[in-house]
């Protein structure tokens, strides 16, 4: 069954999956989500994604309908039914269906949606060459640590990416680099890997945590602090981390060449280390 969907406990073909127009996800963006991918058919870091889903739910006073074990069961079943070589699993929980009113009733039943689609990894040639990025003002709200479906600022930022014909945009708030529109950003300065600290200004990426752990185990020094936009251009290396991008070198930002204009040695080392961790 290609492109599997799941709504509130039932699997169905994606084309048949429907939710009410009174769903608060549709009306208010009142919901949370996760994106998980498989390696060799197995979901990567599923527990970390489910833990983050739990944190997002708690932050929004949203009832999590399933335990970690139940979620795992549904995700594995979705992967089995879709039967793709590699899959991208999208899970979403919204506060539920109710007549439109900002205020919500405590007893609402959340709407749970999952889709399983084929995942096409980035081309090896893109990984090998690195990508180009632009910077955009980070106009997002004050709780970027919550993985909310309310993604309007990210949508506008990604549209700038499309217009500029680059790969990603690096968001800048008050002259400090926060993260990418769909990724975390790491900078190498004099052999140290620097990335924005966890907190309300970034989404704490599952891949970010894996890569920081990897860097430490490789004997690299890491610093969790903000870097300025000026320092970004002057960095020895810049790379993105994320579920779909893995560890991906950025070799040009706003038209300025970063480092040597090709993936640097630390980025390459971490990309190779990441590949061996997921394989």
> Which tokens go with 22?
């009174």
Running DSSP on this structure, what letter comes out for residue 17? -
* 86 Cβ contact partners less than 8 Å away, ≥ 6 residues apart: 37, 38, 39, 41, 118, 119, 120, 121
Cα first-last separation, the chain: 26
Running DSSP on this structure, what letter comes out for residue 236? S
Running DSSP on this structure, what letter comes out for residue 170? E
| CB 96, min distance to ligand PLP, A | 24
| CB 53, min distance to ligand PLP, A | 11
**Contact positions vs ligand PLP (CB under 6 A):** 35, 179, 182-184, 203, 205-208, 241-243
Mode of pairing for the β-strands spanning 256-257 and 221-224: unpaired
Given a contact cutoff of 8 angstroms between Cβ atoms, the answer to whether 62 and 31 are in contact is yes
- How far is residue 220's CA from residue 75's CA, in Å, rounded to a whole number? 35
The residue among 158 and 262 lying less far from ligand PLP, judged by its C-beta, is 158
| CB 171, min distance to ligand PLP, A | 8
> Which tokens go with 24?
């608060």
| CB 140, min distance to ligand PLP, A | 8
- How far is residue 147's CA from residue 67's CA, in Å, rounded to a whole number? 18
> Which tokens go with 110?
């959340």
Is 18 among the residues known to form the active site?
A: no
Active-site position among 147, 162, 163, 256: 147
| CB 246, min distance to ligand PLP, A | 9
The catalytic residue positions are: 147
């Amino acid at each position: 069954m290609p492109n599997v969907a799941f709504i509130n406990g039932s699997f169905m073909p994606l084309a048949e999956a429907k939710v009410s127009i009174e769903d608060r996800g549709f009306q208010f963006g009142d919901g949370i989500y996760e994106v998980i991918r498989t390696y060799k058919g197995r979901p990567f870091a599923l527990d970390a994604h489910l833990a983050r889903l739990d944190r997002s739910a708690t932050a929004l006073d949203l009832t999590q309908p399933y335990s970690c074990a139940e979620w795992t069961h549904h995700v594995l079943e979705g992967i089995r039914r879709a039967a793709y070589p590699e899959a991208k699993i999208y899970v979403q929980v919204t506060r539920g269906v109710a007549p439109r009113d900002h205020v919500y009733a405590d007893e609402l039943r959340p709407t749970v949606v999952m889709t399983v689609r084929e995942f096409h990894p980035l081309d090896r040639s893109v990984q090998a060459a690195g990508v180009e990025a632009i910077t955009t003002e980070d106009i997002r709200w004050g709780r970027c640590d919550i993985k909310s479906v309310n993604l309007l600022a990210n949508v506008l930022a990604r549209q700038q990416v499309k217009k500029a014909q680059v790969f990603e945009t690096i968001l800048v708030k008050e002259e400090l680099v926060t993260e990418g529109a769909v990724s975390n950003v790491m900078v190498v300065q004099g052999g140290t890997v620097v990335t924005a600290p966890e907190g309300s200004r970034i989404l704490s990426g599952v891949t970010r945590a894996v890569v920081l752990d990897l860097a430490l185990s490789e004997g690299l020094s890491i610093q969790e602090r903000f870097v300025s936009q000026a320092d970004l251009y002057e960095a020895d290396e810049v790379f993105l981390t994320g579920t779909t991008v893995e560890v991906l070198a950025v070799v040009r930002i706003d038209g300025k060449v970063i480092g040597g204009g090709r993936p640097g040695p630390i980025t390459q080392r971490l990309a190779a280390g990441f590949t061996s961790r997921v394989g």
